[in-house]
Amino acid sequence: MTLPSSSDPGASRDRGSFATTSAEESDLGFGRVVANNARGRFLTRSGQPTARKLGLRGARTGRAYLAALNTSWRDFLIWTVGGVLLVNGLFALAYRSLGPDALAGSSTLGLDDPFLAAFVYSVSVFTTTGVDGMHAVGAAAQSLTVVQALLGPLVGMVIAGLVIARLTRPRAELRFSDSVIIAPYEGGRGLMFRFVNESISELTSVNAAVYLTWLETIDGVRERNFHRLTLERDDVAFFPLHWTVVHPITADSPLRGVTPERLRDGDAEILILVTAHEETFSTRISVRHSYTWEDVTWDARFASIFIESMDEALAIDVERLSRLDRLPEGSTRIAPAAEGPMVP
């Protein structure tokens, strides 16, 4: 089987028109105050906005719920099991604080440690299973048992609801290259990054929008502006493997004549929004990502991601997603004359 070329495995060759959105047209919804006063990046690498809203009612509960939905299964299980053990430990301490006679029949468990016996009783009440022969004595201990017996199923329902919500929630699992590169493209230069779908669920009708935000000097005023970068293609109907997204740097591009120093001085950030149709849940999903000027690699191009498969089917190695082939120094750091003057 003949493998595709390593120079640009996901890009087409039709350059088209590369006119970009003017600096004054859009701030992408961040607002001019945020745009001109923000310090650092606008999005984290995972795509979360760095700006915050304070004073929202129920914000803590909402954040806890979203954190439970978005965290990894490993962290979710650790927090869930740890929380249940902590609650039962606190109830065990409460039973012990009522005195040695608050719980009767602990000898049937064969446990010499009073706290351990109280903890076992607490777990049995929390899970509504009960412990044969062990019971609460006195109004205080019995009242505490009633409270725990009501709390246990409620917590169980919350945990079950979170598990179901996590299992049925459509989630995009896109993996982006570690860096965005300035690489040779069609006799000039192009800004490129690539990504792959790590989920077993297929994506179709995938659309990518890429924005540049950096500081510019206009009429002697230094301010942050936003540009939508025109791509050599901004959508694909099918997404079986990976996609190399390319913005050709031409005389019409806001990146014309760009150098590493210009990106650094302009505190540049590349904002990415990918939307797609997720087939398992038949819904539209979106993923955000961000690269700063520190994530830009020069004098390199992406290495081939394609590999030979046993059945000769077309295949890629996802672990090669960020692998680069180095080029001679100055290959892309020096702007071609055809790009024109650099944006101040």
Residue 32 confidence (pLDDT) above 80: no
Q: What is the pLDDT of residues 40-58, one digit of tens each?
A: 677 777 767 766 666 666 6
Whole-number average pLDDT of the chain = 85
Q: What is the pLDDT of residue 129?
A: 85
**What's the chain look like in SS3?**
CCCCCCCCCCCCCCCCCCCCCCCCCCCCCCCHHHHHHCCCCCECCCCCECCCCCCCCCHHHHHHHHHHHHCCHHHHHHHHHHHHHHHHHHHHHHHHHCCCCCEECHHHHCCCCHHHHHHHHHHHHHCCCCCCCCEECCHHHHHHHHHHHHHHHHHHHHHHHHHHHHHHCCCCCEEECCCEEEEEECCEEEEEEEEEECCCCCEEEEEEEEEEEEEEEECCEEEEEEEEECCCCCEEEECCCEEEEEEEECCCCCCCCCCHHHHHHCCCEEEEEEEEEECCCCEEEEEEEEEEHHHEEECEEECCCEECCCCCCCEECHHHCCCEEECCCCCCCCCCHHHCCCCC
Residue 107 confidence (pLDDT) above 80: no
Q: Compute the average pLDDT of residues 59-75.
A: 83
Least confident range of 5-19, 71-85, 319-333 = 5-19
Query: In the structure, what pLDDT confidence band is assigned to residue 266 with cuts at 50, 70 and 90?
Result: very high
Q: Compute the average pLDDT of residues 2-9.
A: 44
Q: What is the pLDDT of residue 319?
A: 94
Q: What is the pLDDT of residue 9?
A: 39
Closest to 340 in 3D by CA, of 254, 243, 279, 268: 254
Q: Compute the average pLDDT of residues 234-253.
A: 94
Q: What is the pLDDT of residue 11?
A: 43
Q: Which domains does the chain have, with CATH numbers?
A: 32-53+172-339 (2.60.40.1400), 59-168 (1.10.287.70)
Q: What is the pLDDT of residues 164-222, one digit of tens each?
A: 998 888 777 899 999 999 999 999 999 999 999 998 889 999 999 999 999 998 888 88
Q: What is the pLDDT of residue 336?
A: 86
Query: In the structure, what pLDDT confidence band is assigned to residue 264 with cuts at 50, 70 and 90?
Result: very high
Identify whether the C-beta of residue 42 lies closer than 8 Å to the C-beta of residue 262: no
Query: In the structure, what pLDDT confidence band is assigned to residue 33 with cuts at 50, 70 and 90?
Result: low
Residue of 23 and 140 predicted with greater confidence: 140
Residue 314 confidence (pLDDT) above 50: yes
Residue 133 confidence (pLDDT) above 60: yes
Percent of the chain surpassing pLDDT 70: 83
Q: What is the pLDDT of residues 139-163, one digit of tens each?
A: 999 999 999 999 999 999 999 999 9
Least confident range of 7-11, 165-169, 207-211, 242-246 = 7-11
Q: What is the pLDDT of residue 236?
A: 95
Q: What is the pLDDT of residue 176?
A: 96
Q: What is the pLDDT of residue 111?
A: 73
